Structure 1
């Protein structure tokens, strides 16, 4: 589920905002967010090598978080 922020009559998707700006509006980007977004994009384009690299990066990030 994508989170959106309503500002006036327009809706802004947090991925379109700079991370520090989106944080001002209540969206706190996690380190894994961009990796997951890139993984979804690579999967939809069937870029298998990129999928492997991104999955490994997510595993390393999870390992660091649990240490």
Structure 2
């Protein structure tokens, strides 16, 4: 088992938790649908708060975090 396999496990858990695709992509380090345009650097602090709230929704079966 390698750390990279955790990314797949994470994506599966995030999808089961009904996170939006763009949120999953941002959290997993994948390309965000629509890309990161020149204006996308603005409002990142609010986006970080949103991502933190979305992470709280992820459930890894059998694992207490």
Whether the TM-score (by the shorter chain) exceeds 0.5 is no
Greater relative contact order structure (CA < 8 Å, 6+ sep): 2
TM-score normalised over the length of structure 1: 0.34
TM-score normalised over the length of structure 2: 0.35
Question: Which structure has the highest strand share of the two?
Answer: 1
